[in-house]
Each structure stands twice: as C-alpha cells, then as structure tokens.
Structure 1
Amino acid sequence: MPGHLSPPPVGQLCYENVNGSCVKTPYSLGSRVILYAVFGFASFLAVFGNLLVMTSVLHFKQLHSPANFLIASLAFADFLVGVTVMPFSMVRSVESCWYFGARFCSLHSCFDVAFCYSSLFHLCFISIDRYIAVTEPLVYPTKFTVSVSGTCIGISWMLPLVYSGAVFYTGVNDDGMKDLVSALNCIGGCQIVVNQDWILINFLLFFIPTLVMIILYSKIFLVAKQQAIKIENTGSKAESSSDSYRSRVAKRERKAAKTLGITVVAFMISWLPYTIDTVIDAYMGFITPAYIYEICCWGAYYNSAINPLIYALFYPWFRKAIKVILSGQFLKESSSTISLFVE
C-alpha cells in the first residue's frame, strides 16, 4: 500500500522522457549509500544466516528431530524472503521506483505475503510443539512425531501460498478501489492496493496465530516456573535415575521453549507496527507517509534476519555447527555424526 509525500521537483521521473512515468523521490548520494548498506545487510543476514540454520539441521544427524525440521522449514521461508523479496524491495525503497516489470510486481507481492505468513504459521506450530514438550516431556516423542511435523510444515506452506496466489492473481484485493488503482497506475510503480475486507482478513491471519502463541507461551512459562520450583524443592533429596532423567529433559525443553519464545517476541515486535499501519491506512484513506511505511515494511523484513542471530546467541549446538560448516569440516564424510551437544 502506498504512502504519500509532497511531489518532488519536476523532472524527477522513474523513466525520463516516458509518458506516464511515476514521479521519483530524490535522495542524496550519501543517503542512498547508507540505505543500500542497511537494507543490503538485512538481505545478506537473511540469506546467509538462514542457509546456515538449514545446513546445520539437515546435515548433522544429531539435529534430525521433528522440532528441528520445523525450525529448518522456518529458516527456508526466511531464506526465500531474503532471496526473492528483500533485494527487489531494497531497490524500490531507495530509488522509489520499480524497475522489474508489472508482472514481477504481482509475483513479488505474492512472494512477500506467502513467505511472511509461512514464517508466522511455522512459529505458531513451533509454539504448539514447545507446549507439548514442556507440559508432557516424557510422552512428547510419541505425540510430536516426524509425520506430525511434516503435516505442520505442509500446512505452513500450502495455506499461505494458496491464499496469496488467490488474492493477488484474481484481483479481489482491489475490488471497489478501481479509481485509486487508476490514479496510482504509472510506469515504474509497484503499489499493490488492498481493500478493507482483505486487510481485515490479513489482520486476522496475523492476529489469531499470534494470540495462540501468546496463550501457549504464557502457559509454558507458568509450567516451567512450577517445574523449576519443584526441582529446587527436591534438589537436596536423593533422586532416582528416572527422576534425574525427567529433570534433565524438563530443563532442556524449558530452555528450548525460552529461546523460541524470544523468537516469537521478536516476530511480534517486527511485524506489529507494519500490521497496525496497514489497518490504519486502509480505514483512514492511505494517510501514511511513504517513509513511515518503508520503516514499518523493513522492520518486518528484518525479522527474517533476526532468527539466526537468536539461535547463535542461545543455542550452543548452533554455534558449534557454524564453526564446523565455516571451517569446511562438514565436507568430510564423518562430519554428519559429530556430537554438537550433550544430554
């Protein structure tokens, strides 16, 4: 959805000497260099960081688990944002023009919505996985199996792809807004207008999974606190081997839930401003200035680069995997059986 700025000086066009060209917002050379550096760094992190996550989970056998397959699939969604969305959005944001054609504009918007909603759905299923792991750690392996994880991954990909494709390729997103679409239609623009009905649906698609995650993680931390108190109270007593194993499993699952809880909070902080802005824009006549919209948009994009940094900070096994991968040791045949963590 477009924002609005005062018209730049006459002659600043996306395509000089072309009738119907969009007006270009001028930036100084220094500003453009800084913006390209900031946006390019986000794209690099999203691509390289998530590639490391996927390689780690898929290469090392010790990481082959239903929960980690979900994490790898989430990383793939964020990786695709970094490859197919962010580089082109970077040029659009800095140059204030779209130089990649009208057809790719629709495809780019479709990718944008699909991969970002796919990330959200993955995080929602991950919160369900963590809830089961923390509340029922001993029976968790029998409840959240590889087939269950595969089903969650399938849903996380199919629903966003079908939804975004249906919305942007049937034209229902701008029903009732033909006058605005005509006014915005110019050569060198990629401004997808979404009417109030679909903005409301978009908001619900964001709000409902987010609400599920908030509820589940609230319960997770309550259970984790109770478990910690129980372990502390029984710490001075002699523990049987089964009690000791139960304590280790519970502690491990709580730590994983905490890390992924931070991932969810980071997602909400990144996406909430953009989501609120789109709702306000749709119901208030698209009043958001262009620069505010771009800030909200890139705040959301940056989320795809944040997750690998969170894993690197809180997962020792991921840091060890990175060292093995970057040193080239993972090319050795025996590297897939390297121990990355201890029970």
Structure 2
Amino acid sequence: MSSSAVQQKILNCSEYGNGSCPESERSLAARAAMYSFMTGAIFLTVFGNLAMVISISYFRQLHTPTNFLVLSMAVTDFLLGFTIMPYSMIRSVENCWYFGLIFCKIHYSFDLMLSITSIFHLCSVAVDRFYAICYPLWYSTTMTIPVIKQLLLLCWSVPGVFAFGVVFSEAYADGIEGYATLVACSSSCPVMFNKLWGTTLFMAGFFTPGSVMVGIYGKIFAVSRKHARAINNLPENRNNQMRKDKKAAKTLGIVMGVFLLCWFPCFFTILLDPFLDFSTPVVWFDALTWLGYFNSTCNPLIYGFFYPWFRRALTSILLGKIFSSHFHNTNLFTQKETE
C-alpha cells in the first residue's frame, strides 16, 4: 500500500479519536431505508435456506446424493444470513464496527470461509451432475454416500483452514506499510489483502473452481443436446430420467450463474485493490459485498421457482404438517413429475 494512501486513512481516523466512530453522514431516513432493505434480505436468506434444510432433511423422498450436496449448500447460506449478515448490516449502515478487533477477525474469517465453501459446493454439485448425465451407468457406483461425505468434508475443511489461517496470521497484510497503525486507530474493521494474497484468494478461491464449473457445465449441456436429439428413440423410463437430469442440471446451472454474477465483482475488486494503492472506496466495497450476500438470498428463490416439490414442502412446513407422524414419507411429486 502506498505511504500516502495509508497516511490519509490514518489521518481521517485520528480526526475523531482512536477507535471511536465518526458521526454518521447519512440521514435518519437513509439509515432506516437501508436497515429495512437489508433486514428483508436477511429474513429471506435465513428462512428460505432454513426451509431448504428442513425439506431435504425431513422428507425421505429427497434423500439423494445431489440433494445432500444442496442441503449442505443451504446450510452454508443459512449460516451466512444468520451469523454474518446482521453484523455486516450494522457496519454498512453506521460506517462503524462496534464489536472489537478479535470479533472482527472472527467475523471476516467466517465470511470468507462461507463464501469459498459455497463455490466448493457448487463444484461438487457440478461433478455430481456430470456423472449423472454424461456417465449415467457409472453414477450409482461413483457418487455414493461415502463419496458425498468426502466431498462435503473437503468443501468445509479447506475453506475453513484457509480463511482462519490467513486472517488470524495476518499474512494478508504483510508488506502493507502503516497497516498496523491503521488497525489500531480504526473503528471500521479494516481488512486489506496485499498483492500476493489478493491474487491467491482470487485464483484459488474463485477463478479456478469457477472455471472448473463452467467447463463441466459446458460439457453437460453439450451432452444434453445430444440426448435431446435421441430422446424420442429411447425407452420411456430412460427418456423420463434424462428429462429430469437435464432439468436438474439447468436449475443448478442457473444457481451457478447467479453465484458467479454476485461474487465475481467482489473477488475481482479484492484482486485489483492492492494494485490500485487501496484506493477503492469503502462504500463500493460494502456494495459489492452485499451483492455477494444476495446470492444466498437468491438460491431458495430459484429452487422455489423451478421445483414444485420445494413449494409443496414449504407449504407443508408452514402448515405444520411435518409434525404429523409418518408425514416424512409423503410423496412430493405429481404423477407427471415422476413419469
């Protein structure tokens, strides 16, 4: 980080005292509007993904390898909405971090971990759909429950070790002149990645797995087009299975696309910021971070739009039917959907 950029940030901090918060420049109406909008996003994120978790966990008909991956991804989104977004909301609206430096590191570690965990889950789902559509005869022996458990362990452990290791070791700040002084006097929970770790985070945490997903889904849709041309010549049961697999791949492809659109600007800004002398405005970083958060809000809405079974499961949850004995064996699919 350039000396002048850091010194300017320190000067701005010292104007209102070490560790204290500046007086908010936003009007009461503006803060109320921001709180209302963000609270609505948090509500949809928490309860939408909680509905996904309950639906897949409760209904035995939904206990499939693919859905177990989707279940774990919904847990990721739920945790982001429940444990991360409320604190980020206060920081964004008030332009101040009230919760101390240690909790700042914990908060950012979980934030980073859950973001990378989401993309790892999407990679795993892409692999699952790849075998289901491109190698259907091998699918049942390849994507077994033990394999799914190993994938889930990988999805959670690698991002966790990376995020907590980098943040608590402060390796991300090595070589940034004046960063320690900025942290000591700042009340904004500053986290600035140097060139090395900004590039590492972008490549390992986003670009590489994102490229793998795009490549896999490209192959899946190429095979799906071949299936579409031959589908009328197949036996009825094989025909129906291919249709369902194609729909599942399309839906999960949309989920992947939304994820990339939501998180790419934030990751790309983290990559560029150290090369621009950390000149990116805080407001811009906040806006891009919340764009990424909205991905967790969108996922259950996408499933609700494309999957009637999710809407039926949600209705059963809201009506309290899941408290009835043996209701977990209920058929969530219509005859047309199971044919």
Cα distance change, pair 250–268 in 1 and its aligned pair in 2 (3 A): same
Task: Identify the range of structure 1 (33-42 vs 71-80) with the bigger mean alpha-carbon deviation.
Answer: 33-42
Greater share of helix residues, 1 or 2? 2
Q: Residue by residue, what CA displacement relative to the aligned partner does 1:201-235 show, whole Å, maximum 9, x if unpaired?
A: 10112100000000011111111111011124x3x
1:154 corresponds to which residue?
153
Deviation, structure 1 residue 180: 3.0
8 Å contact 1:5–1:289 — kept in the other structure? no
Select the residue among 253, 259, 262 that pairs with 2:254. Answer: 262
Q: Give 1:246 deviation, angstroms.
A: 1.2
Give the distance between the partners of 1:188 and 1:318, measured in 2 at CA.
43
Residue 165 of structure 2 aligns with which residue? Answer: 166
Distance apart, 1:19 and its partner CA = 4.6
TM-superposed deviation, 1:186: 2.0
- Matched to 1:202, the amino acid is L
The Cα RMSD (Å) is: 2.4
Corresponding residue number in structure 2 for 1:210: 210
Distance 1:12 1:337 in 2: 64
Structure 2 CA distance for partners of 1:272 and 1:5, relative to 1, 3 Å: farther
Shift in CA distance, 4/249, structure 1 to aligned 2, threshold 3 Å = farther
Residue number in structure 1 paired with 2:49: 50
Aligned to 2:306: 314
> Normalising by the residue count of structure 2, what TM-score does the alignment of the two structures yield?
0.92
- CA deviation after TM superposition for structure 1 residue 24, in Å: 4.4
Alpha-carbon contact 1:281-1:287 (below 8 Å) kept: yes
Q: 2:297 aligns with which of 305, 319, 333?
A: 305
**Percent identity at matched positions?**
38
Q: Hey, what's the Cα distance between the residues in 2 that align with 1:66 and 1:131?
A: 13
Contact between 1:12 and 1:26, CA under 8 Å: does it hold in 2? no
* 1:248-295 superposed Cα distances (whole Å, 9 cap, x missing partner): 111110100000000000000001111111111111111112221111
Give 2:290's aligned amino acid.
W
Distance 1:316 1:10, change over 3 A: closer
Closer, same or farther in 2 for the Cα pair 1:4/1:319, shift >3 Å? farther
Matched, 1:128 2:153: no
Task: State the alpha-carbon separation in 2 of the partners of residues 298 and 6 from structure 1.
Answer: 23
Structure 2 vs 1, CA of residues 19 and 139 (structure 1 numbering), >3 Å: closer, same or farther? closer
For the Cα contact (< 8 Å) 1:177–1:195, is it kept in 2? yes
The correspondence of residues 53-132 of structure 1 with structure 2, limited to 5 A, is: 53-132=52-131
The one-letter code of the counterpart of 1:280 is L
- Work out the CA distance in 1 between the residues paired with 2:46 and 2:95: 24
Which one of 326, 330, 334 corresponds to residue 326 of structure 2? 334
Cross-structure match for 2:226: 226
Of the three residues 235, 241, 246, the one matched with 1:249 is 241
Q: Which amino acid aligns with 1:220?
A: I
The 10-residue stretch of structure 1 (210-219 or 132-141) with the greater mean CA deviation from structure 2: 132-141
Q: CA deviation at 1:5?
A: 10
Tell me which stretches of 4 or more aligned residues in structure 1 moved more than 3 Å: 1-7, 9-13, 22-25
CA distance in 1, matches of 2:287, 2:141: 44
Equivalence for 1:144: 143
1:289 counterpart = 2:288:
no
Q: Given the two structures, how large is their TM-score scaled by the length of structure 1?
A: 0.91
Would you say the 8 A contact 1:3–1:291 is kept in 2? no
How far off its partner does 1:4 sit?
Answer: 12
Distance 2:6 2:199 in 1: 19
CA-CA distance at 1:194 after TM superposition: 1.5
Aligned match of 1:31: 30
Whichever residue aligns with residue 259 of structure 2, its letter is: F
Structure 2: gaps (5+ residues): none
Q: For residue 187 of structure 1, report the CA deviation from its aligned partner.
A: 4.9
Is the Cα contact below 8 Å between 2:9 and 2:182 reproduced in 1? no
Distance 1:53 1:268 in 2: 21
Cα displacement (A) at 1:23? 3.2
Unaligned runs of 5+ in 1: none
Distance change >3 Å, CA 171–CA 244, structure 1 → 2: same
Q: Tell me how far apart the structure 2 counterparts of residues 231 and 220 of structure 1 sit (CA, whole Å).
A: 16
CA distance in 2, matches of 1:20, 1:207: 36
**Structure 1 pair 138/28, CA: closer, same or farther in 2 (3 Å)?**
same
**Aligned residues of 1:4 and 1:288 also touching (Cα < 8 A):** no
Distance in 2, Cα, partners of 1:68 & 1:3: 47
Query: Which amino acid letter does the alignment assign opposite residue 192 of structure 1?
Result: V
